[in-house]
Amino acid sequence: MAAATCRASEPVNLAGLRARATVVRALHEGLWAEGFLELHPPVLVDGPALEENLEALIAHDGFLHTSPEFAMKRALAAGLPRIYAITECFRGEELGRHHGTEFTLLELYLQNANYVDLIGVVEPLIRRAAAALGVPEPGFSRVTVSDLFAATIPDDDDTFYREWVERIEPGLRAPTWVLDFPARQAALAEVRGEVAERVELYLGGLELANGFSELGEGCELRARFAHSARVRQSRGRTPHPTDEGVIAATARLPRSAGIALGVDRLVMALAGFADIRDVRLPR
């Protein structure tokens, strides 16, 4: 059998790595100053994701996590009120200037909060990171999904996402919080009438963060796992395993909110890099 060969190494972008280190340090300092406890969630997990569009990578006897969300919610339900992790995550079939199979997420959770409260936590972190880099601190605006469509929100996801990607997302150049997504796109968010209590942050036409008022009903989460499994099966995909631990934790959650922020993309946006590979060490 012929020996495997390694790919040619990509160049190391020293400016990108310095900017990355500066941003990560600023995030840690800002979170500790606000009383958040850093956790180190497992990367190898039994249940990798809920969303039917995420492709998890198989590893050993489980999967590489697509985010630390399930493990973090166990800690939140156990009684830790303000927690965060900055960790590597893995998703298959995602590769490009703004995507990598391996990428870094900041994920944080806090009790006695909802999705709007997350804005007041994340904005100071980004301003701190900008100040550490010596770049202008961004000013933020807010808009709802219905405002962006300026008419009826499409009632099917294919049309919704096509319009979103082609028409709406490219226009979100300035730092913008987008709130109140259709209920059918709740993922793990609470639903209020026809609205999912969900918020996303955009900068330079690029999604930086996605947060929720966290779902607090185990039975509803089980139903969402089942729906995701049916959708994946209809597409010829293997369903994700149902994570019984996060279902049990969800049933014990107090009123809480959580958000995931792409660290690589944040560095790119603040420091002016065009490719995610500019702010990461190459393989």
**The predicted structure's pLDDT at residue 1:** 46
Q: What is the pLDDT of residues 54-82, one digit of tens each?
A: 888 999 889 999 999 999 999 999 999 99
Q: What is the bridge-based pairing of β-strands 141-144 and 102-111?
A: unpaired
- Over its C-alpha atoms, the chain yields an Rg (Å, rounded) of 19
What are the residue boundaries of the structural domains of the chain, listed by start? Answer: 14-279
Q: What is the pLDDT of residues 103-133, one digit of tens each?
A: 999 999 999 999 999 999 999 999 999 999 9
What's the fold here for domain 14-279? BirA Bifunctional Protein; domain 2 (3.30.930)
Distance between CA atoms of residues 211 and 261, nearest Å: 9
The Cβ of residue 179 has, within 10 Å, a number of other Cβ atoms equal to 20
| CA 113 to each of CA 83, 155, 238: distance values in angstroms, whole numbers, following the listed order | 13, 30, 35
Low-confidence ranges of the chain (pLDDT < 70): 1-8, 94
**How far is C-alpha 162 from the geometric centre of its chain's CA atoms?**
20
Distance between CA atoms of residues 10 and 4, nearest Å: 18
Q: What is the pTM of this model?
A: 0.92
Distance between CA atoms of residues 119 and 200, nearest Å: 10
Specify the length of the chain in residues.
Answer: 283
